[in-house]
Amino acid sequence: MCRMLGAASSSPGEVRLLVSCLARAAQRDVLRHDEVHGDGWGMAAYSREGLLVRRSARPIFDELSNANSLQLPAGEQLVMVHARAASDSSKVGIAYSHPYEALSADGRRLYLLAHNGSVDREGLGRALGLGELSGNYVDSELALMVIAREGLSEGALELLRNYTETALDLLIMEVDRPSGAARLYAYSYWRDPGEGEYYELRVISAGSTTAVVSSTVAKYCEALGLRHSGLGPGRLVMVGELSVNSSGGLTGFSRWRGPTP
């Protein structure tokens, strides 16, 4: 499994605070028998400064032992950060760290995806026409292929749900290349009704930030006085939207205020 967060914020300091909770959750998952999520980490940040994507093979709790060292843009931004626990130990390294990237079939949209959970890699690979080649991919990459092909449609999400083995927790950044508008989406689904406490993504809205985070991240945030509530199953939510013109000027920013805790 993995731990992750997605945020729409105008305060890099608040984002770094959440990342510190993510690093602690990755080092010691108190909701999963102290599991360690140490198989690399990655992030994407979209702002007036551009699109920053970073991937590392190192554990996030080693590389960001001090979250203040995390380089983030100034001002308004959409951010996703992911700490990986690989289900296949042969697929670990910089090139396997989330987020994954793909273009839509028409080339107009760039998708970046971070995922927690597992899907049937062979079954989904067959549905995509990959056959034996599906073994070359991480299951999350196949999920992104579906979204790149179908868009963020209910049909795409239904297909992914049908092949979900444990959970389908998604953070998806969608960038419209012609306009420069980006949107950050969150989606949470889990197969076993008894696993909701662990798999349901949680929403934190405080200060200048709205974030959707994994359950263990929310648990560590509680110690900082941050309240959270459940995203709900099978619900696609736009966490935030940010628009940048061709000259790099910010033309729009909004964030979801989240459900009432």
For 215-225, give one letter per residue: b (16+ CB within 10 A) or e: bbbbbbbeeee
Q: How far apart are CA 123 and CA 162, in angstroms?
A: 10
What values do phi and psi take at 150, rounded to 5? -105, -10
* Other residues' Cβ atoms within 10 Å of the Cβ of residue 71: 9
For residues 200 and 215, is the Cβ–Cβ distance under 8 A? Answer: yes
For residues 217 and 5, is the Cβ–Cβ distance under 8 A? Answer: yes
Model confidence at 97, in pLDDT bands (50, 70, 90)? very high
For residues 106 and 212, is the Cβ–Cβ distance under 8 A? Answer: no
User: For 170-205, how does the pLDDT look when each residue is reduced to its tens digit (9 = 90+)?
Assistant: 999 999 999 999 999 999 999 999 999 999 999 999
pLDDT score of 76: 98
Model confidence at 163, in pLDDT bands (50, 70, 90)? very high
pLDDT score of 73: 96
- What domains are defined for the chain? 3-255 (3.60.20.10)
Q: How far apart are CA 142 and CA 152, in angstroms?
A: 14
- Tell me the pTM: 0.96
User: For 143-161, how does the pLDDT look when each residue is reduced to its tens digit (9 = 90+)?
Assistant: 999 999 999 999 999 999 9
Model confidence at 260, in pLDDT bands (50, 70, 90)? low
- DSSP structural state of residue 123: H
